[in-house]
Homo-oligomer: A and B are copies of this chain.
Amino acid sequence: MAIIDWSLSIDRAIPKPFRTLLRGVGQIFFCCNAVTGLIFLVALYIGGVTAGLAATAGVLSSTIAAHLLGFPEKDIDAGLYGFNGTLVGPCLFLFLENSPQLWLYVVLASILSTIVLAALMRILQPYDIPASTAPFVLTSWLFMAAVFAFDSFSRGSLLPIAGIPVEAANISMIPAEIGYMAATKGISEVMFADSVIVGILFLIGIAIHSLWGAAMALSGTIVGIVIPVLLGVDKNLIEMGLYAFNPVLAMMAVGWAFLKPSGRSMGLAFLAGIFTVICQAGLTGFLTPLGLPALTFPFVLVMWVFLLAADKSKYQNYGGRNCEAIMDSKTLNENNKLET
């Protein structure tokens, strides 16, 4: 694919420190590609300047921390120590009250996300599955829950109010016309941006890196609209794309990034997308008494379960393919050629 070759040539031409940081942003959607990362970052700033700055602070803090703590250069270069920080920054700014101290809090959380990533990589080593965005989720939960105890911070109005789970009120069906909006918003919600344009930019960024990846992302948004509608989830949540970002990530992970693309793995990806919707609904129930959002944990859980289970399957379509590929953009390039 010409575009992919071209974007990877640019990737390699960018000076190393910038390339590492931009790849960190690109890795949010499993793209070890600085051009993709740059498009994501632009999209983030379009979504909101504070979110863009927070993401920048996050990717800088977490990547620099990884260097100082002596974690493997190969992983840092591939941007693996960047994307959790990139997510932690806008997340804390979305859910906590904006204040000057919050910048320090974001830097601390990004550093911790790097340490948690290294620890999770060590734990998951014998199982050969990726830690993915788990460090972002665990760190953000911790920092959001801690705010209950601290006087210097306030919980923002978007954070769910802690309470006891109650049954959903009865809700009418979602009108078909808002489907398109929800679909593109679902992709942008991965980065907490509630905007159609941001979603389209993200999709372009993924498509430049891999058409197959973009196809899985689009399928994820569709699963993330159709299944919640069938199950009767609150219409507003679906419209905002809040039920789509987890299936987007789950289908990209199972259908493209970590299993060998095939008819069978596409079937698995759809199954993973459906279970991710149920997992998100269930996890939201678990977290209600704590007043915390599910973030991307439904995706992380479903991905772990599917990759671990794939390892027991005789169809063995899990070989950590992209795990290596993520490390080596040259291999990635070749894999993409095969795929597209």
Contact = CB atoms under 8 A, between A and B. Distances in A.
Interface of A: 69-72, 108, 111-112, 115-116, 118-123, 126-127, 141-155, 162-168, 170-171, 230-234, 271, 274-275, 278-279, 281-286, 288-291, 304-306, 308-309, 311-315
Contacts of A120: 308
A104 B268 CA distance: 18
A308 B122 contact: yes
A114 to B, nearest CB: 8
A281 to B, nearest CB: 4
Contacts of A147: 167, 281
Contacts of A289: 162, 164, 289-290
A290 B287 CA distance: 8
A146 B281 contact: yes
B119 A284 contact: no
A231 B151 contact: yes
Give this chain's copy count. 3
A291 B165 contact: yes
A150 B167 CA distance: 8
Contacts of A155: 167
A308 B119 contact: yes
Contact of A305 (B116, B143, B149): B116
A155 B72 CA distance: 49
A154 B126 CA distance: 41
Given A108-B274, A148-B167, 4 more contacts: A116-B309, A142-B279, A145-B286, A164-B291
30 contacts: A69-B309, A70-B313, A70-B314, A71-B312, A71-B314, A108-B275, A108-B278, A112-B275, A112-B278, A115-B305, A115-B306, A115-B309, A116-B305, A118-B309, A119-B308, A120-B308, A122-B127, A122-B312, A126-B126, A146-B278, A146-B282, A148-B284, A148-B285, A148-B288, A154-B167, A162-B166, A162-B289, A163-B164, A165-B290, A289-B289
Q: Chain B CB within 10 Å — which of A119, A233, A304 has the most?
A: A119
A295 to B, nearest CB: 15
Q: Chain B CB within 10 Å — which of A170, A306, A313 has the most?
A: A313
